[in-house]
Amino acid sequence: MKLSLHTGLSSKLNEQLTRTLTVLAVCTSTLLIKPLFANEVEFEASGYIAVEQRYFFKEALYPEQLNHKQSSLSIEPELYWQWNDGSDSIIFTPFYRVDSQDENRTHGDIRELAYIHASDDWELRVGIRKEFWGVTEFQHLVDVINQTDGVEDFDGEDKLGQQMVNLSLVNDWGIVDVFLLPGFRERTYAGEEGRLRGPLVVDKNNVSYESSAGQQHLDFALRWSHSMGDYDFGAYWFHGTNREAYLTPVVQNPMSSLESYSLQQYYAQMDQLGLDIQATLGDWLWKFESIYRSTSLEDFWATQAGFEYSFIGVFDSNLDLGLLMEHSWDSRGEVEFGEQGSLLQNDLFLGARLAFNDMQSSELLMGIGSDLDHNAFSFIVEASRRFGDNFIASFDVRLLQSNNENDLLYALSNDDHAQLSLAWYY
Amino acid sequence: MLTKKILLSAVSALSLTLVATASFALTPDVQKGLDISIEAKKRDIGWQDNTADMLMLLRNKQGQESIREIKMKTLEVQNDGDKSLTIFNKPRDVKGTAFLSFSHPVEADEQWLFLPALKRVKRISSRNKSGPFMGSEFAFEDLSSFEVEKYTYKFLAEEQLNGLTTFKVEQYPVDENSGYTRRIVWLDTSEYRVQKVDFYDRKDTLLKTLTFSDYKQYLAKYWRADKQEMINHQNGKSTELKWSNYNFKTGLSESDFNRNSLKRAR
């Protein structure tokens, strides 16, 4: 096992930590000193440690990549303090993963380090946090605040902590959230040794920004969300650094006689409008998400829409079966491989979720994605079950297939894999 | 306000009963069953809000046990169902998961679930009343607040149960999504506290029995059982509920039951 600690990442982590601690310290000194001593502080520690084993069925497509096996260990403790009956709290959730093969996947992050003050009709949240928006399952189109922790998993659901000041105002007509986001997080990508990447490696040291402020650009977001009877609505405007980089192939080492290329990251500024709606009508959940994004390089629309239907107690048992169908659309249409655009320009997803409702919370999820413009498929199975009171075992299989050389899935077509993980929660 | 609510309940229950019994007027048994239920509800109105800790012990046929640790916050809502926030602490993998429910006597409840790993608030379908709660022998509907409008009634008999004189009342769920055809409920005649419930499944065979014990009185008025034991006769499993730290009139308000409070619930 090759276990390498990455000094670059740890120094970045320190930088992030210092900045947040400063903000926290200012807030604490102005707002809290008195109540802190006037009241009892409650403390809680929890978290998990997980081991994960991946097995890729086929040999690697690119020479530096790992061949079959990839093991890793991750840890995510959560420390929580609250006082004033929970009106004031601090949460600290560091994360670290050690990977046997991909040095980019050996990385750490502060998922959360934030102070929250809750009043009757407003809430202030300051520090590093995670904020999720959206209603659909197969793509999280409107979710924009946090950067994707791309090395973590294939589904893009893992996010990096984002520094923020968030004021949340509760009104009869909905909740209004104002976000000031100082400091941008660069996306993490698989390294040379990693699988689940295209032929060129994304260079984490070759990053440029449209804004002269670079990574220090102050992003801004304003969101309204509300529930009216069977309907839940959310709408927002985001102004700031695009979380998705434009990737351009560049010669990696001009001095070398061997011409090798890597991908340069360019983060543009963007304005984005987002809308998410869910209608909860009996056994039906109807879901719709849409964004309009405008950057100096392009303007486009995209939507993700579909439904989930639940059968309660199928086969005269305690099992619940949920059937899901979603469609992805992007106004940029089909894109050439290596060009900027969305893979999900006209894709259909079908899924089935089986909840056993047993003591072990056993669950099975299956999904098929298909590109309707050309021949490309993805297939996933996720199964999980609790063992004892503290262990969760999960088993995932992902199969990717494409006949079209222009599709990213074609570049990943040797990356079919199974993944087994065991997590201990405390 | 209070009398209005009871009157409304009585009227809607009455109208439902009328529909159920077609052209017949309320028979004395139906009337008495309804009266007992209205009285039981009336004795449990005005507590405003409460918080409590719940420990669930799940046991399978082989005697293997599993624990669920849950915190509940409930707000009494005049002329509607209660608002509640359920916060999970154990098993550890679901720690931080929270469930917000605006219940309604007849229309569908509004329910949201907070998933801490993704920090995601999900609106969920409230149709699943008959499904097991956290893998236990309690269905979601067994844990929801009692509202007169949820059932039609029939008084069966007065019976002795564990040394108490009880009313034995049959209840027929109004909601077609209920997992039961009927419930038989024993309430003691002195305080109108539920002592025992028999649940009959959709095929009308005895499915479960729930017994209440260790009743305690709060604010010199409201009775709560410290222990509830649910036995499933068909699969041999059982679930024991132990309540502790009951607090009433804690000052909870509407603002403790919204998306924001759901996200930071502990």
Partner A contacted by B135 (CB < 8 A): yes
**What pLDDT does residue A256 have?**
62
Q: Name residues whose C-beta falls within 8 Å of residue A126's C-beta, 6 or more positions apart in sequence.
A: A23, A24, A27, A114, A115, A116, A164, A165, A166
**What pLDDT does residue A190 have?**
95
CB contact under 8 A, A118 and B260: yes
What are A134-184's pLDDT values in tens digits?
A: 999 999 999 999 999 999 998 889 999 999 999 999 999 999 999 999 999
What are B67-85's pLDDT values in tens digits?
A: 999 999 999 998 888 999 9
Chain A hits for B253, CB-CB cut-off 8 Å, are: 120
Of residues A19 and B172, more confidently modeled: B172
**What pLDDT does residue B58 have?**
96
Averaged pLDDT of chain B: 90
Contact (Cβ atoms closer than 8 angstroms) between residue A214 and residue A308: no
Nearest to B60 among A44, A312, A359 (CB): A359
Chain B hits for A86, CB-CB cut-off 8 Å, are: 264, 266
Chain B hits for A226, CB-CB cut-off 8 Å, are: none
Q: Give me the percent of chain A exceeding a pLDDT of 70.
A: 88
How much of chain A is helix, strand and coil, in % rounded to 5?
10, 55, 35
The mean pLDDT value for A104-114 works out to: 97
Interface test with A, best of B59, B120, B247 (most A CBs within 10 A): B120
The domain spanning residue B98 has which CATH number? 2.50.20.10
Domains held by chain B: number: 1
The mean pLDDT value for A332-359 works out to: 87
Q: ipTM of this predicted complex?
A: 0.89
What are A64-93's pLDDT values in tens digits?
A: 999 999 999 999 999 999 999 899 999 999
Chain B hits for A282, CB-CB cut-off 8 Å, are: 108, 125, 127
Report the SS3 class of residue A364.
strand
Chain A hits for B177, CB-CB cut-off 8 Å, are: 312
Contact (Cβ atoms closer than 8 angstroms) between residue A425 and residue B117: no
Partner A contacted by B61 (CB < 8 A): no
In this prediction, residue B6 has a pLDDT band, given cuts at 50, 70 and 90, of: very low
Interface test with B, best of A280, A323, A361, A392 (most B CBs within 10 A): A280
**What pLDDT does residue B21 have?**
46
- In 3D, which of B149, B140, B79, B77 has the Cα closest to residue B113? B140
Q: Name residues whose C-beta falls within 8 Å of residue A12's C-beta, 6 or more positions apart in sequence.
A: none
Residue A389 lies in a domain: yes
Chain A hits for B131, CB-CB cut-off 8 Å, are: 312-313, 318, 320, 357
Chain A hits for B66, CB-CB cut-off 8 Å, are: 359, 389
- Could you tell me the two tokens for B214? 């260790």
- Could you tell me the two tokens for B183? 């419930």
Partner A contacted by B236 (CB < 8 A): no
CB contact under 8 A, B91 and A278: no
In this prediction, residue A402 has a pLDDT band, given cuts at 50, 70 and 90, of: confident
CA distance A364 to B40: 43
CA distance B235 to A290: 47
Chain A hits for B234, CB-CB cut-off 8 Å, are: none
The domain spanning residue A174 has which CATH number? 2.40.160.10
Strand partners, A236: A223, A274
Contact (Cβ atoms closer than 8 angstroms) between residue A210 and residue A296: yes
- Could you tell me the two tokens for A78? 């959560």
The mean pLDDT value for A48-66 works out to: 95
Nearest to A283 among B58, B120, B127 (CB): B127
pTM exceeding the 0.80 threshold for the entire prediction: yes
CB contact under 8 A, B92 and A423: no
Give the minimum alpha-carbon distance from B99 to chain A in angstroms, rounded to a whole number.
16
What are B79-132's pLDDT values in tens digits?
A: 888 999 999 999 999 999 999 999 998 888 999 999 999 999 999 998 888 889
Nearest to A390 among B92, B120, B261 (CB): B92
Contact (Cβ atoms closer than 8 angstroms) between residue A376 and residue A349: no
Domains held by chain A: number: 1
Averaged pLDDT of chain A: 90
Nearest to A89 among B177, B258, B264 (CB): B264
DSSP letters of B208-263? EEEEEEEEEEETTTEEEEEEEEEEETTT--EEEEEEEEEEE-----GGGSSHHHHH
Residue A289 lies in a domain: yes
Residue A2 lies in a domain: no
Chain A hits for B108, CB-CB cut-off 8 Å, are: 230, 282
**What pLDDT does residue A405 have?**
75
CB contact under 8 A, A227 and B110: yes
The mean pLDDT value for B235-264 works out to: 95
Please give the DSSP secondary-structure letter assigned to residue A148: B
Domain span including residue A108: 7-425
Chain B hits for A120, CB-CB cut-off 8 Å, are: 253, 255
CA distance B61 to A316: 20
Q: Which pairing describes strands A162-171 and A202-209: parallel, antiparallel, or unpaired?
A: unpaired
In this prediction, residue B18 has a pLDDT band, given cuts at 50, 70 and 90, of: very low
**What pLDDT does residue A137 have?**
95
Before B91, cis peptide (omega within 30)?
yes
Which strand (E) or helix (H) includes residue A34? helix A33-38
Partner A contacted by B66 (CB < 8 A): yes
**What pLDDT does residue A315 have?**
82
Q: Name residues whose C-beta falls within 8 Å of residue B164's C-beta, 6 or more positions apart in sequence.
A: B188, B189, B190, B195
CA distance A179 to A129: 11
Q: Name residues whose C-beta falls within 8 Å of residue A206's C-beta, 6 or more positions apart in sequence.
A: A250, A262, A264, A265
CB contact under 8 A, A157 and B118: yes
Partner A contacted by B57 (CB < 8 A): no
In this prediction, residue A337 has a pLDDT band, given cuts at 50, 70 and 90, of: low
Report the SS3 class of residue A147.
coil
Residue A261 lies in a domain: yes
Position A360 pLDDT exceeds 70 = yes
Position A223 pLDDT exceeds 70 = yes
A-B contacts at Cβ under 8 angstroms? 107
Domain span including residue B72: 2-263
Exposure on the CB side of residue B25, measured as CA atoms within 13 A: 1
**What pLDDT does residue B266 have?**
87
In this prediction, residue B8 has a pLDDT band, given cuts at 50, 70 and 90, of: very low
Chain B hits for A114, CB-CB cut-off 8 Å, are: none
Partner A contacted by B130 (CB < 8 A): yes
Position A24 pLDDT exceeds 70 = no
Nearest to A358 among B126, B135, B261 (CB): B135
Question: What are the phi and psi torsion angles at B172 (to 5°)?
Answer: -115, 115
What are A252-268's pLDDT values in tens digits?
A: 776 666 668 999 999 99
Partner A contacted by B260 (CB < 8 A): yes
CB contact under 8 A, A386 and B91: yes
Interface test with A, best of B118, B180, B257, B258 (most A CBs within 10 A): B118
Chain B hits for A139, CB-CB cut-off 8 Å, are: none
CB contact under 8 A, B259 and A46: no
The mean pLDDT value for A26-32 works out to: 51
Q: Which residue of A has its CA nearest to B239?
A: A359
**What pLDDT does residue A338 have?**
64
